[in-house]
Structure 1
Amino acid sequence: MKKLVIYILAILFLLSLTACNAKVPNDVQTNVTYSKEFSYLPAYGNMKLQNITQPDENGISSARYLIKNTTTDIVLNQYADILKKDGWAENWSYTKDKKPYSMVAQKDNHVTTLLPRQTDNDVVLIISSK
């Protein structure tokens, strides 16, 4: 009898683990990759780091990225979506939303400024963040 109870409990435990691993719908998933330079900031898919500055006296660092074959409008709109998927939407505000020229986002004690510049078919994106 004791073995039967243990067996049933083991099955219930395994079933509960299976339920916890149920697939989340795509619109709810948050498969976000974070920037190596700013560990709290989601990265934009194919941005390649060109250079980075050390934090200034206010703790603000800047990084310059190259994003190939896109436009400033696409980058800022898609980046805003990435931030929302990462949960920034609940605690953030667009301090200044001047797409396609710039965007400033805030979450908790982090402030991030996105400044894109179109160069032929590519975008140079400067991110300043604290």
Structure 2
Amino acid sequence: MDAKDGVCVVAVFLKVGKKENPEIAKIIAGLKHCTFKGKRHTMDNKVDILKLIPTSSDYYFYYGSLARPPCIECTVWIVYQDPIEISHGQLDAFNELQNHRPHHEGVKICNNYRPLCPVGSRKILFVKVPKKGCAC
């Protein structure tokens, strides 16, 4: 990975449960102000991104590509093993997001992922973070 203009993606899985996630709630509160691509909004409440990291900080690490075409190999991926919890209502808020491109108004955003790509020669590392107080 030699790209000086590469990016790092930190991915956290979401699991639907009973508890509302306060940091996700702040993000959802700002969504209603960003209904069009390119529209900007300064959020009223700051999101503490460290509170979006699972309590078990174990993660997978690999060099890969962008998630959208042209899928350039310039991305460092950090994918946390454990999910964080969101409520059903919070999931519903994301499911209500709509596409506001010309000729697609009112169409919900869905299936916005690309097919899996072969791992090829990539090495995927699993990083186990020692628990606090552990003399590992």
TM-score interval, smaller chain: under 0.3
The structure with the greater share of residues assigned to helix is: 1
Which protein shows a greater Rg? 1
Highest RCO, 1 vs 2 (Cα 8 Å, sep ≥ 6): 2
Q: Could you tell me the TM-score, scaled by structure 1's length?
A: 0.24
Q: Could you tell me the TM-score, scaled by structure 2's length?
A: 0.23
